[in-house]
Structure 1
Amino acid sequence: MRVVSMVPSWTETLLRAGVEVVGRTRFCIHPPKMITNIPIVGGTKDVSWELVADLKPDLVLLDEEENPLDMAENCPVPYLATHVSSLETLQKELVRLGEHFESPLLMEWAVDALDVLEAPTAAWDFQKIPGFMEWVKTPSQKEYENVVYLIWKKPWMTVSQQTYIGSVLQKLGAKMVEFPIDEKYPVIDIEDYEKSFLLFSSEPYPFQKKINDLKALNVEGAIVNGESYSWFGIRSLEFMRDTLFPKS
């Protein structure tokens, strides 16, 4: 089956599972050696249907959190739209994709996702932050009121418990700020969170490249690998599996 994937997380996952991906977004950068010769047809929010048609796909793969509704409404070929908003929905969608593509590997990863779901919640340790990349300022205490995960600047934007990243953080034992249920990506005033520990994601905003600006804020926090927390396919699954079930 020839697939055009408009979801970076799924592109990597399908390629590693042996599914034939013939088109991708410009944000589909993993696995590097496997995506090189796959044509780009747009981004996660825009697409050239002419380029898609040239590839003669059997299916376009979308996700409700990644792609806008009009992409599905205007899709000229059959499409499949997943909806990954938590670790639980990841497990269900891996089963769905495994059945659709008749892929033993996808089904195996669905079992791994179930193991992650059923594992005890981890104990969060500010000295051993999962996905740690670099300190903005080292923690001065063992406990904080909560953890705030930043994904954007100007305005400062965080994530709620109702997001995939939120479900990962909670499974890892982080205490999150509670926002209204309809605010998945709240805009905040960073000065309001002096008693919180701040996690700055390496993407989509390039916080690691702005580390000196962050240090000038005099906040306690760290840069973490955004791909590990947000790429909800095999990349995040392996991150969770390795964190919850470390090898001796």
Structure 2
Amino acid sequence: MLFTDQLGRSVEIPSPPRRIVSVVPSQTELLYDLGVSVTGITKFCVHPESWFRSITRIGGTKQLNIEKIISLQPDLIIANKEENEKAQIEALAAKFPVWISDIQNLGDACNMILSLGNILQKTSEALSITSRIKEGFARLQPPSLAIPAAYFIWRNPWMIAGGDTFIHEMMHACGFRNVFEDMPRYPVISLAQLAASGCRLVLLSSEPYPFCEKHIAEVREYLPDADIRLVDGEMFSWYGSRLLHAPEYFRELMVSLQH
């Protein structure tokens, strides 16, 4: 059957596909929650743990082992515009059906879930997941006065989430105003720039860089009066079924900031 991915590409996919390779961690977890099986995943597809320990790993999201993927003879590869390297995905698309997601916001994420549900003949499961996600986010009650915040994804160099990212959208859902919303993607900044930004809340993510307690002190040298928190990066950046758990995590984070 012919399906359209989120880049507007038409992809011929057998219905249903039987040998699926997922090269995006958040979408791998979604496939598990939809109730389908997979043939290959990346080394970063840590959820569910049972798959991480048992399914063939085909490299990292940006360093795919093309030969290993070819050996698996997939009838569907599920990828993402941002998380995978274009040249590698194009090479795979020349040999196999590749469906590519492109996620900027919650609506895109829900559309991706529904689309994959349709492709995989798991429509009712996908509808259930998206309904629960929407209900969870609808119940969030962010503070009326947005908190000026910055979200770091990397150190050496210091990199933050700009305004055209899914992370930015999740910050907004929490009632945070991204002080670097005018910057695109994931720009490099200095801690001096951070200090001059008016930021009152600094979020240090658990991934892709594993920030920990010792890094709080580095930032505090420049922002002694700011609230600096270690946060679960999966909750802010995973756009599959992990979104079922994100609203409650965000609610608890917002409550903790009031004390």
Q: What residue is the counterpart of 1:227 in the other structure?
A: 234
The answer on 1:186 being equivalent to 2:206 is no
d(CA) in 2 for partners of 1:145, 1:110: 28
Structure 2, unaligned stretches of length 5 or more? 1-17, 253-259
Note the C-alpha offset of 1:232. 1.2
Q: CA deviation at 1:19?
A: 1.2
Are positions 1:176 and 2:175 aligned together?
Answer: no
Given candidates 57, 67, 80, the residue that maps to 2:74 is 57
User: Which residue, 92, 98, 106 being the options, matches 1:87?
Assistant: 106
Q: Distance in 1 between matches of 2:219 and 2:25?
A: 32
1:5–1:23 CA contact under 8 A, matched in 2: yes
Among 119, 125, 130, the alignment partner of 1:105 is 125
Distance 1:202 1:243, change over 3 A: closer
Supply the AA of the counterpart residue of 1:192.
Answer: Q
| CA deviation after TM superposition for structure 1 residue 56, in Å | 2.5
**Structure 2 counterpart of 1:66, from 59, 83, 108:** 83
Task: State whether residues 161 and 180 of structure 2, in contact with CA within 8 Å, keep that contact through their aligned partners in structure 1.
Answer: no
For 1:188, the aligned partner's letter is: I
State the distance in 2 between where 1:116 and 1:70 align: 37
Q: Deviations for 1:14-68, whole angstroms, at most 9, x for unmatched residues?
A: 0122111110111111111233110111111122222112222211110111111
SS at match of 1:227: helix
Q: Secondary structure at the match of 2:39?
A: strand
Q: 2:206 corresponds to which letter in structure 1?
A: S
Q: Deviations over 1:178-214 (max 9, x none)?
A: 4436x11121122223341211001111111xx2243
Q: Is the 8 A contact 1:85 1:162 kept in 2?
A: yes
Partner of 2:165: 163
Contact 2:22/2:28 (CA < 8 Å) preserved in 1?
yes
2:23 pairs with 1:21: no
- Map of 1:239 onto structure 2: 246
Asked whether the equivalents of residues 150 and 156 of structure 1 are also in contact (C-alpha less than 8 Å), the reply is yes
Cα separation, partners in 2 of 1:120 and 1:18, compared to 1, 3 Å: closer
Does structure 1 retain, via aligned residues, the 8 Å contact 2:25–2:42? Answer: yes
Report the Cα distance in structure 2 between the residues aligned to 1:145 and 1:31, rounded to whole angstroms. 34
Cα offset for 1:90?
A: 0.3
Taking only the aligned residue pairs, the percentage that are identical comes to 30
Kept in 1, the 8 Å contact 2:23–2:61? The answer is yes
Distance in 2 (alpha carbons) for counterparts of 1:29 and 1:147 = 29
Structure 1 position 242, deviation (Å): 6.1
Per the TM alignment, residue 217 of structure 1 is displaced from its structure 2 partner at its CA by 4.0
Q: Which moved more, 1:227-236 or 1:106-115?
A: 106-115
Aligned pair in 2 of structure 1 residues 18, 144: CA closer, same or farther (>3 Å)?
closer
Match of residue 10, structure 1, among 3, 16, 27: 27
Cα separation, 1, equivalents of 2:236 and 2:182: 22
Contact kept in structure 1, 2:34 and 2:125, CA below 8 Å: yes
Q: Which residue of 1 aligns with 2:204?
A: 200
With structure 2 as the length reference, what TM-score do the two structures score?
Answer: 0.79
Give deviations 1:48-91, integer Å, cap 9, x for gaps. 22211222221111011111111221002111111112111101
Aligned mates of 1:235, 1:180 — CA distance in 2: 27
Paired residue type of 2:240: G
- With structure 1 as the length reference, what TM-score do the two structures score? 0.82
Q: What SS class does the counterpart of residue 69 from structure 2 fall into? A: helix
